[in-house]
Amino acid sequence: MKRIAIIPARGGSKRIPRKNIKNFCGKPIIAYVLDAVKESNLFDVIHVSTDSQEIVTVVESLGFSVDFMRDQKLSDDYTPIMPVLKWVLEQYKDKGVIFDEVSTIMPCAPFVESSDLVNASKLLESNSHLGPVLSVSTYSAPIEWAFKLTKDKNLKPVNKEMLKKRSQDIEESYYDTGSFCFFSSKYVLNSTGAGIDSLYIGSTIEKYKAIDIDTLEDWLFAEMLFYGIKHSGKL
């Protein structure tokens, strides 16, 4: 079984400049994911897919190599992840290297641990006939309690009847954390688009690991969370 981990890390972050290599609690944020991927001992190749020479320099300073730069045609704000994965696999195939499994792990997921990746890999091995494995986590509150805010700032319940139920009587719902996804290479190469071509298998991670860092506010909250967890002895 030959596996590749692909960390997609473009250089053109708009809301948080240089986000993928910005210092996060003492080291570039991408370093946490690279360390987790390496510690998992799952992958034959760890490839950072980037269009930025600055990111290449940082990655190499951390002890990892970048075999080739990403095609500029796949480096804009609108290219979904699946064409990038497919292109990377094709580049390696041209070099005579063929993988059985491909995983994508986001560079700004500093709380993901190697054990999370190992668990996801095991799920894929035992359920690959069902579809890819996607990292998921539970919502903090039942989605059935959701409201919509009208133009007049009035709250309109999405499901009024469900507001009468206690949270413990409502089945938990899950969402895609965007942290990582595990595929068979065959699935990626046969994909028709953004990757929503079949059912997905959920690999659950703790809520704190699922933080989505898109804005400076997210970043500051993640740093506070990191130091809080570290102080508690869990990191």
| pLDDT (tens digit per residue) in 74-105 | 998 888 999 999 999 999 999 999 999 999 99
Specify burial of residue 106 (Cβ count, 10 A radius: 0-12, 13-18, 19+). buried
Q: What is the pLDDT of residue 7?
A: 98
pTM for this structure? 0.92
Interatomic CA distance for residues 123 and 234, integer angstroms: 25
Contact in structure between 10 and 70 (CB atoms under 8 Å): yes
Q: Write the pLDDT tens digit of every residue in 99-126.
A: 999 999 999 999 999 999 999 999 999 9
Which stretches of the chain drop beneath a pLDDT of 50? none
Q: What is the pLDDT of residue 14?
A: 84
193 vs 71, 106, 190, CA distance in Å? 17, 19, 9
Pick from 107, 56, 49, 59: nearest CA to 79: 49
Q: Which CATH architecture has domain 3-138+176-232?
A: Alpha-Beta Complex (3.90)
Q: What is the pLDDT of residue 235?
A: 63
CA angle centred on 138, ends 129 and 49, rounded to 5°: 60
SS3 80: coil
Interatomic CA distance for residues 103 and 100, integer angstroms: 10
With b meaning 16 or more CB within 10 Å and e meaning fewer, what string describes 140-177? Answer: eebebeeeeeeeeeeeeeeeeeeeeeeeeeeeeeeeeb
